[in-house]
Amino acid sequence: MAAWAYKATNSKAGSGFTQFLANSHRFLARTAYYPPKRPDTKLVRAASAWNVAIGDTFHIYFGANEKRHLGSYTVMDPAKSGPGFAKAGTKGAFAEVRDTKLTDALTSMPGYKMDPFFECYVGYVLEPRRGVLVRQFKDVRWPGQHTLIQLP
């Protein structure tokens, strides 16, 4: 199983809401596709996000001014995670949000957008992990603006 570092930023919500989603809703919002830069081009697939597999470990960090670890989680199978989620696509671990309360919470926060391909909120279903070795934010090599990187 792979380990990933995810850097949340202020572009969507603060660290409190990111932690609330992960701990209360067991969910990390992450689009699978980006909208096209120009009207005459196609959607752009979020390449590394599709490499995340069920059973992988996510270490969620918050960037911006806090630069801290928010928690570690196992990526769960959305098809086996209850009626609030469904598998999105045929590869990877992406989940479609079917839960009305979670959809309402995401809609209420500026910056969260529905995935342009799936036309709903997507991301990963999470289960908290305890006793996992965690790197400090400063020790993770964040290449540029990337928010999701596979750890060695």
The DSSP bridge pattern shows strands 57-62 and 3-8 to be parallel
Q: Which residue has the tokens 């596979």?
A: 150
In this predicted structure, the answer to whether residue 53 has a pLDDT above a threshold of 90 is yes
Integer Cα distance of 16 and 117 in angstroms: 28
pLDDT digits (tens, 9 = 90+) for 58-116: 999 988 777 889 999 999 999 999 999 999 988 889 999 999 999 999 999 888 999 99
- At 12 the pLDDT is 73
Residue 100, classified by CB atoms within 10 Å of its CB into exposed (0-12), middle (13-18) or buried (19+), is exposed
Binning pLDDT at 50, 70 and 90, where does residue 142 land? confident
Q: From CA 140, how far away is CA 101, in angstroms rounded?
A: 34
Q: How confident is the model at residue 121 (pLDDT cuts 50, 70, 90)?
A: very high
Positive/negative CA dihedral, 113, 115, 121, 123 = negative
Q: Where are the domains of the chain?
A: 3-150
By the 8 A CB rule, do 124 and 94 touch?
yes
pTM to 2 decimals?
Answer: 0.91
